[in-house]
Amino acid sequence: MTAQTPNSFRNQPDERGHFGQFGGRYVAETLMPLILDLETEYRKAKADPAFQAEFDDLLEHYVGRPSPLYFAPRLTEELGGAQVWFKRDELNHTGAHKINNCIGQILLAMRMGKTRIIAETGAGQHGVATATVCARFGLPCVIYMGATDVERQQPNVFRMKLLGAEVIPVQAGAKTLKDAMNEALRDWVANVHDTFYIIGTAAGPHPYPELVRDFQSVIGREARAQMLSRTGRLPDVLVAAIGGGSNAIGLFHPFLDDPSVKMLGVEAAGYGLDKDHAASLAGGRPGILHGNKTYLLQDADGQIIEGHSISAGLDYPGIGPEHAWLKENGRVDYTSVTDVEALAAFQLLCRTEGIIPALEPAHAIAAVQKIAPTMPKDAIILANLCGRGDKDIFTVAGHLGVTL
């Protein structure tokens, strides 16, 4: 018998950064030496107990981990089926899971001797988390944000500025997240000698999808241990919203080799899959963008199509490459939820549990709303509550016809 686990889903990517046919390093030559350096340095950091200890210490004392695992009794009763549990990553410092990754990456940046941080942001959550860690460690920070998003997300723009970041509105293209990412890549190409790019999701060129996943996997590792300790068993289904997919891969990855645990990733169906949406897996095809091969919203000529979602954090025309791989091998199921369904789920959680979720996890809650009633009462659903909804109250008020 071989000691290897022949069917592990947890040993990706391969040494070239590929998850099956997905992932890889599709970047301009200027960035290649840096990407290779980053990979070497990440391997060393991963094996260095001092790096891990500093990461763990910051997560505990600065971020506030472990986040609670919470049984939602009134939501469970209302849905009338499986028990619904939440991993409360919205209780982290800065109000979302994004900070986990930013802590890890800024420690890597300092280890590599980089003295300037850049990042892209859509809704502003990753920008706020990046500005936060830059303030914490005293590094200058430049955030690229589409001009359209700057207009829509003024409170987060102000937060970033309070934290000392320079926010640069991107006028190129459609002036949203993908254009912000293009502009961050342009900055990086021009400043490789001193600059570290903190990518916000589990996408981009290798090793980003791997390292973002590893930093976010604290979510799943904690949840798995908490669930075992609270109930003596593993959950039946994990549910998480997917834009780029970092909160979902962070929850899923530690469970991938538990065959009894099913997983459901929830994309944003926007106005509907036959209209404008941001569901790359449901409505896209494999292609190459922003350094990796993955499912993309694109036309017949390979031109990228803008995503739409009520949630600015899900509004991206691609998805992390590991999700593309997990879809193709069938380990994870993927579904999608419309703006209207997410808005209803947002209100449902407010009303039943006294928790205002971000619009991103509202998509996961809408999926829970659909599957819980079809499952027996002793079944367990664990959903990732990856962000709090304070940032979204203006958007929600607008959709409900309320003027603030």
Partner 1 sequence: MSARLTAAFAKGHPALVCFVTAGDPTPAATPAILDALVEGGADVIELGMPFTDPMADGPAIQAANLRALGAGTTTADILAIASGFRARHPDVALVLMGYANPMTVRGADWFADAAAGAGVDGVICVDIPPEEDAELGPALRARGISPIRLATPTTDAARLPAVLDGSSGFLYYVSVAGITGKQSAALTSIEEAVARFKLTADLPIAVGFGVRTPEQAGPIARVADGVVVGSAIVDLVAAHGAAAAGPVRALVAELAHAVHHARSVAA
**In what helix (H) or strand (E) does residue 122 lie, and over which residues does it extend?**
none
The pair of structure tokens assigned to 226 is 């908490």
The pair of structure tokens assigned to 27 is 């970047």
- Where do we find the tokens 């979902």? 248
**Which residue number, 77 or 194, has a Cβ lying nearer to partner 1?**
194
For β-strands 262-270 and 333-338, DSSP reports them as: parallel
- DSSP three-state, residue 285: strand
Residues near partner 1 (CB under 8 A): 16, 24-34, 172-173, 178-179, 182, 185-186, 189-193, 285, 287-291, 293, 296, 298, 300-304
**Which residue number, 25 or 224, has a Cβ lying nearer to partner 1?**
25
- The CA distance from 216 to 235, in Å, is 19
The pair of structure tokens assigned to 276 is 């404008």
Least Å from the CB of residue 146 to partner 1:
13
**Which residue number, 298 or 369, has a Cβ lying nearer to partner 1?**
298
Least Å from the CB of residue 179 to partner 1:
8
**Which residue number, 299 or 378, has a Cβ lying nearer to partner 1?**
299
- Residues 347 and 309: beta-carbon distance below 8 Å: no
Least Å from the CB of residue 310 to partner 1:
23
- The CA distance from 272 to 295, in Å, is 18
The candidate with the shortest Cα–Cα distance to 120, out of 150, 77, 75, 152, is 150
Least Å from the CB of residue 366 to partner 1:
30
The Cβ of residue 193 has, within 10 Å, a number of other Cβ atoms equal to 9
No. of H helices and E strands in the chain?
A: 16, 14
Dmax (CA) for the chain in angstroms is 67
**Which residue number, 237 or 297, has a Cβ lying nearer to partner 1?**
297
Q: How many CA atoms lie within 13 A of 89 on its CB side?
A: 32
**Which residue number, 186 or 221, has a Cβ lying nearer to partner 1?**
186
**Which residue number, 235 or 318, has a Cβ lying nearer to partner 1?**
318
Measured in degrees and rounded to the nearest 5, phi and psi for residue 96 equal: -160, 175
**Which residue number, 288 or 356, has a Cβ lying nearer to partner 1?**
288
Q: What is the DSSP string of 239-279?
A: EEE-SS-HHHHHHHGGGTT-TT-EEEEEEEEET-TTSS---
The candidate with the shortest Cα–Cα distance to 334, out of 299, 288, 284, 287, is 284
**Which residue number, 27 or 198, has a Cβ lying nearer to partner 1?**
27
- Residues 389 and 346: beta-carbon distance below 8 Å: yes
Least Å from the CB of residue 277 to partner 1:
17
Least Å from the CB of residue 324 to partner 1:
14
- DSSP three-state, residue 10: coil
